[in-house]
Structures are given as C-alpha cells and as structure tokens.
Chains A and B, each alone.
Chain A
Amino acid sequence: MTSFEDADTEETVTCLQITVYHPSHLQSGIFHSINFNNREKLPSSEMVKFGRNPNICHYTFQDKQVSRVQFSLQLFKDFNSSVLSFEIKNLSKRTSLIVDNRELGYLNKMSLPYKCMVRFGDYQFLIEKEDGESLEFFETQFILSLKSLSQENTWVPRNPIPENGNYPSFGTHSTSPTEIDENEL
C-alpha cells in the first residue's frame, strides 16, 4: 500500500482565474507585486482586497491612480446552489467599477457570473471561475495579458444560445429559451 492510495480524498477547490491588462504596465511596473501564474490558496471566508495599500490589500498595484483600497472579492454561498459564488464590491469613492455593462459605485456590490470583465480606469480584468467542491478554501491565479482584453474580443457579453443551436431569425433580448416551431426557421 502506498500513501497515495490511503490518503483522504482531496477536494477540488474553487479557482478564480484573473487575466489582467493595463496599457502601460510594461513601463510602470504596476503589476510588480503580482505573482503571475502561481495558484494561491486562500480561506473561503477571506475578503480579498485589491488596491494600492499593501497593509490593507492582498493584491496591490503600484500606481498612484489606484485607490488605496479599490475593490474586494468575497465568496458566498447562494441558497439555491451547492457551489460557491464570488461577490465584487467597489471600495473606491473616486472611481466606478464596471462589471460587464453594470456600473458599481462606492460600496455597491454584485455577484460575479462565471466569466465577466471588470474594469476601472485603464485596468481590465477578465475574471473566470472554475467550480470546486471545497467550502473551506479557494484559489486565485493571475495571468498577465500583453494585449487589451476588449480589443481581442476575448469576452463579449452575449445572450445565451438556444440548446439546439438554432438561432431565431429575429433579434431577441430574451435570456431564456424561446420555444418556436421548427417550420418557422
């Protein structure tokens, strides 16, 4: 028998992958303190703060245009879900936080979809969540993008597509499946 076979089953952890971009990051070293590509394990009850002040924030940006505490991410569990979700909260009085197309003011918060674009100033964050079993921990992983995330159309908020792959011929803003007769296609 080996220790691998006898060991307790490991739980998978929720992972938050954050792809960051700023147009002048190469010149200014604003991401100097971010440990890219490294997976960091954090307790699930932690409120993870992002900003300029290293005494308060877990992830810092060396940029005077960033607020001392810019925003936070925190896990919560929805009543109807068995997996963990993230909530983002704007902690900056000066700067709005744009999450996809929604603007968050100071102390506004919202839950994050599985994939979304978060922006403030010239900063772009593509945030993607991978579900895991563990309720105790989660992981973060930062990826540096050398190109603008908007220009590459890496993520464009769009309506869900029908399960059968058939797009209706008329425009629709409905986010729920629409039942149509197949002869109408």
Chain B
Amino acid sequence: MERNLTVLQVALYHPIQGPAAFANVPSRLQHDTSPLLVGRGQEAHLQLKLPHLSRHHLSLEPYRERGSSLLSFCLKALSYRGCVWVNGLMLRYLEQVPLTTINRVTFSGIQMVIHIEVGASLEAFVCCFHLSPSPLIYRPEAEETDEYEIIPQQWSPQGSREQTLCHLGFLQGPSETQDSFPQPSSGRGAEIQLQRETPV
C-alpha cells in the first residue's frame, strides 16, 4: 500500500527550457531499490530533455543505514563533464552524498528540490513530481544586486500548481513569480535556501 512506501516529493524547475525539459516526467513514478537514474538518456528512469545534460547525470540510490529499519538515499554524480550541487556541496563524477529530509539540488540549470517522506517499505519507493513555474532555489546575497531575470509571461502562476507546491512546503507565501528573484548560475551557486522571503 502506498502509505507504507517512502515518498520523494520532487519539485523541478528550469529557467529557460521550462515545461519542455520535463515533457517525459510522469506525475508519479514507483521504483524498486535499485538506483534511480536521472539524465537525458532514454534508459534514464527520470528522463530530462536538455541538450547539456549527460545521458546519466546523477542517481538516487536507496540503501539502509546500519541500525535503521528505514530507507535512506544517496545522490551520486554520474556526469563526467558536469557537476551536481547538493545542499551547497559540489559533487563531481562518482562523488556522492546522503540526502537529508529536504534537499536542494542543481545541475545543468535544473533546480530540483527533494523532500523525503519516509515510509516503512524496503521493497520500493515512489517519486511524485511537481513542475514549478517559478524558481525553487536562489542565492540570498543576490537580493542585494540589480541583476535579475524577468520570468517569461507564459509562466504566470497557475493557482492550483502554486497551491500544491505551497502545500508541500516547496514555496512559502503567495506566488510572486513576477518579482525579481534572480536565477542562480547553473552549478556554481554558493549557499542556497529553500524558502523565498516575501519582499517588503
């Protein structure tokens, strides 16, 4: 039963490609305990259509910490050329890091926020994907600069989607996608925060 499965709530955002990058992303994906591959390739379990992404860019590997009866997850960088940022830590090829409850992941311009809701099952886990029309991650120091990008008009917020992302804790407060929230440069951000502060 699904309520016993660990659920990964995964929010995705790309500043330029928008929804086209996520055309092959299902709303829900159940996976066994083998590593879940994320990349451009057809054999990737989560296929993202971006030309600069590696065929296998990263993996999410379920495992169990000794002494724990629950699943943990380890994110491993699989791109030989690119890198992956996880909670401010840069991973190069074959480097890996265990995930915490909420994780900010950036790679090839993609922002991915993973919220883990742990369940009892050791057989499988579920990913629920949410496409965000607005940035999920930003650099706090960028608020003090004049550099920002206008969010394209076709990405004006849709009420139900915003409500879903708010409900899951990916966003806080009312949608303000027209505001000047700067984009972090891909893969080079320093410290990043999940919640956006409401501008005064």
Residues of A within 8 A of B (CB): 44-45, 47, 75-79, 84, 89, 104-110, 135-136
Contacts and interface: CB of A to CB of B under 8 A. Distances in A.
Given A107-B71, A107-B122, A136-B80, A76 B63 contact: no
Contacts of B101: none
Given A45-B56, A45-B78, A109 B63 contact: yes
Contacts of A78: 95
B64 interface: yes
* Size band of the interface chain B makes with A: 10 to 19
Interface string B37-81: 000000000000000000010000011111000010000101010
Contacts, number: 40
A79 B98 CA distance: 13
A108 B78 CA distance: 21
B64 A135 contact: no
Interface in B70-106: 71, 76, 78, 80, 92-96
A135 B122 contact: no
Contacts of B65: 108
B35 interface: yes
Nearest to A91: B33
A109 B96 CA distance: 13
Given A45-B78, A106-B122, A136-B80, A84 B94 contact: yes
Contacts of B92: 77
A57 to B, nearest CB: 12
A47 B62 contact: no
B64 A47 contact: no
Contact of B64 (A79, A84, A105): A105
A104 B66 CA distance: 7
A76 B96 contact: yes
Contacts of B76: 76
A127 B174 CA distance: 57
A136 B122 CA distance: 31
Contacts of B93: 77, 135
A78 B66 CA distance: 20
A179 B178 CA distance: 64
A95 to B, nearest CB: 15
B122 A79 contact: no
Contacts of A45: 56, 78, 94
B172 to A, nearest CB: 32
B63 A107 contact: yes
